[in-house]
Amino acid sequence: MPVATAAPEAAASAPTALGTSAASGSSGALPAWCPPWAERLGDAYLSGTSCVFLLHGNVRDLVPVSAQAASPGAEPSAWGTTTDFLAREMFGRWDVVLAYDVGRGLRPLAGPDPARLRTMAQWLTERAGNAATWPRDPDQAVAAIDAILERNLIDPPEQRKRIAVVLDYAQYLVPAGEGGTRAAAARLVRILGWATNPLLRRVNVAVVLLADTIAEVHPRLVQNPAVSAIDVPMPDASERERFALATAAAAGMKPGQIDGVKRAAAIAGGLTLESLRAVVTLSARDGTPPDGPEFAARKKDLIERSCHGLIEFIQPRLTLDAVAGHADAKQRLEADARAIRRGQLEAAPMGYLICGPVGTGKSFIAECYAGSVGIPCVVLKNFRSKYVGETEGNLEHALGVLRSLGPVVVVIDEADAALGNRQSDGDSGTSARVFSMIARQMGDTRYRGKILWMLLTSRPDLLPIDLKRQGRAEVHIPLFYPHDQAEMEAMFAAMARKSHVRLAPGLPGPVDLELGLSGADIESIVLAARRKGLERAADAGQPAPDTITAEDLKAALDDFMPSAQGLEKEMQEIAAVLECTEKRFLPERWKGKVGEPGGRARLQERLAAIREVVRS
């Protein structure tokens, strides 16, 4: 991005160079180590596209900055805040950098240069009075900035200053939920006025707003074509490695641990640089391997805390080998897992829809799939809030973390309730916006094989068709209760292993399939049989048995009463059958019904009829 310093008399017609003389060199280009979002901001400014920018996302993280006496092209030797970077790197050669947030009020930003700070303070004092009187109130502060910019416009060309304004925590200046108040409207109108004023671009003025999430900022500002919204992403692998090595050196880590630092940085996706510094520093202090077991635990804790409990890590303990039954579904999932392990991400689906009646093991098979692929598994928890704009902000932050984590399996349980739809239904459009954000991310093919979505639901018919289409949740896998004696025996054996008990040889024997036992039902029966054996042994003063006898299992089966919600289970089964994308996933009896002439139509009619009965 080549730029050149404008002469004072030409300042009214040409954009001023960005960057510092130390880091940029004579060419005036930003240094190569600057983050990509800084390049985007610089390109938009120098092209005349905009003079008002909204940085959102990972704006609270550390950013590389050069040393005060760095040679041109030198690697960064320090890291600072985003405002430090803007003052020192982006606008390091500008005359005035003025910052404001509601906590600290107006103040000049000059980085580590005291002479530059004194010059700025003197100029600002001449126009805004003594620093002690500079306003903290947002209305007065925005008005004062407006007056400074207006004064600069009418000054003779040779006296005009190159001014950058940094408005931190912009969500509190122009919040999404306060557009109706007069004060908020006045601040919004003033900032939009700066964005659309062509004279400000001609006299080298740039206004940069920082917000944690774009959803918290007023939509009139976000959607204005004169405002450039730029996402600040989580650090990539190269940024993490560069920072981790510098942190390790500063912490006095031994040379023999440097390879471990590099491996830790490579698997630290989802962590901010601030969090990575804490992990590396703790490893150096405790003398533990940087990429050891402690790292995984610290990473999990830091990411969950940074997301305010919006996501939960599940460390897969099992693979698909542990799944009983569902042979064809397992075969498909295992094939996809092998492709991902081989690096053939283009062959992986964007996502799965795992559906079926309650108790069929949807969550379990999703976790085991993550274990087979060998990647982390994350549960997207309830991100909805009662406060305006906060739900979208929560989701935006969670999606940003997921993008940096990949490859990762993302599990959304009860997806029909969690994801919303295009209908607002009196929630001020929140459901529609949430739906749009999820659908857009699910359909982003850049993350094929990197973010694997698994939507779990017993009511797939309630999910919007936009989420179920090809290109999003591409593979629809229905799960059913054990439908033959072989599956029933495998399920009993699996539940016995889970309960740390053995079945006597020959058990469970023939089980009535008409009972419609789910995996949860079978686990309950196994535990009931186990209790009967323990009680009998205790009454007789004998040691606790480690095997379930035929007598105890028969007593538990005879005593068990399946759930009375037969119609709802049938409805869930039919909905799963109708959503299935591959016939091989269906049991033989459902294959036969679907394959009959008009079979699907009759199933749809039956589903509609049951819905009416259940609603009444």
pLDDT digits (tens, 9 = 90+) for 262-271: 999 988 888 8
Q: What does the pLDDT look like over 23-72, one tens digit per residue?
A: 444 444 677 888 999 999 999 998 888 899 999 999 999 999 876 544 55
List, in sequence order, every residue forming a beta bridge with 63; answer none if it has no partner: 80
- How would residue 4 be classed by pLDDT, with cut points 50, 70 and 90? very low
Mean pLDDT computed over 174-190: 82
Q: What is the pLDDT of residue 16?
A: 57
Q: What is the pLDDT of residue 106?
A: 94
Q: Which CATH number is associated with domain 8-232?
A: 3.40.50
List, in sequence order, every residue forming a beta bridge with 230; answer none if it has no partner: 55
Q: What is the pLDDT of residue 11?
A: 39
pLDDT at 10 over 70: no
Q: Give Cα separations from 15 to 25, 98, 198 (angstroms).
A: 18, 18, 12
User: Range with the lowest mean pLDDT among 3-7, 55-59, 503-507, 601-605?
Assistant: 3-7
As a whole number of angstroms, the distance between CA 217 and CA 204 comes to 25
CB 404 within 8 A of CB 234: yes
Q: What is the pLDDT of residue 616?
A: 64
AA letter at 592: G
Q: What is the pLDDT of residue 147?
A: 94
More confident residue, 375 or 108: 108
- Three-state SS string over 421-439 comes to CCCCCCCCCHHHHHHHHHH
The H or E element spanning position 96 is: strand 96-101
Q: What single string gives the DSSP state of each residue in 433-465?
A: HHHHHHHHHHT-GGGTTTEEEEEEES-GGGS-H
Q: What is the pLDDT of residue 8?
A: 39
CB 191 within 8 A of CB 174: yes
pLDDT at 308 over 90: no
∠ Cα 334 340 346 (to 5°): 115
Mean pLDDT computed over 521-542: 92
As a whole number of angstroms, the distance between CA 283 and CA 260 comes to 10
AA letter at 233: P
Helices (H), 164-257: 182-196, 198-202, 219-222, 237-250
Mean pLDDT computed over 181-188: 86
DSSP class of residue 86 equals I
Helices (H), 198-236: 198-202, 219-222
CA 279 to chain centre: 21
Q: What does the pLDDT look like over 313-369, one tens digit per residue?
A: 888 888 999 998 899 999 999 999 999 888 888 889 999 999 999 989 999 999 999
Q: What does the pLDDT look like over 386-411, one tens digit per residue?
A: 555 677 777 888 888 888 887 889 99
In 10 A of CB 362, how many CB atoms?
A: 24
Identical fold for domains 8-232 and 314-478, yes or no, is: yes
- Encoding tokens for residue 287? 């003398």
Mean pLDDT computed over 484-509: 90
- How would residue 274 be classed by pLDDT, with cut points 50, 70 and 90? very high
Of all residues in the chain, what percent carry a pLDDT higher than 70? 89
pLDDT at 413 over 60: yes
Q: What does the pLDDT look like over 85-131, one tens digit per residue?
A: 999 999 999 999 999 999 999 999 998 899 999 999 999 999 988 88
Domain 314-478 has CATH 3.40.50.300: yes
- How would residue 502 be classed by pLDDT, with cut points 50, 70 and 90? very high
Cβ-count burial of 116 within 10 angstroms (0-12 exposed, 13-18 middle, 19+ buried)? buried
C-alpha torsion sign, points 43, 44, 49, 51: negative
Q: What is the pLDDT of residue 18?
A: 67
As a whole number of angstroms, the distance between CA 504 and CA 342 comes to 41
C-alpha torsion sign, points 432, 433, 434, 435: positive
Mean pLDDT computed over 499-526: 89
What are the domain boundaries of the chain?
8-232, 237-306, 314-478, 482-616
Determine how β-strand 451-457 pairs with β-strand 351-355.
parallel
As a whole number of angstroms, the distance between CA 479 and CA 301 comes to 33
pLDDT at 7 over 60: no
Fold of 482-616: Helicase, Ruva Protein; domain 3 (1.10.8)
Q: What is the pLDDT of residue 519?
A: 86
- How would residue 448 be classed by pLDDT, with cut points 50, 70 and 90? very high
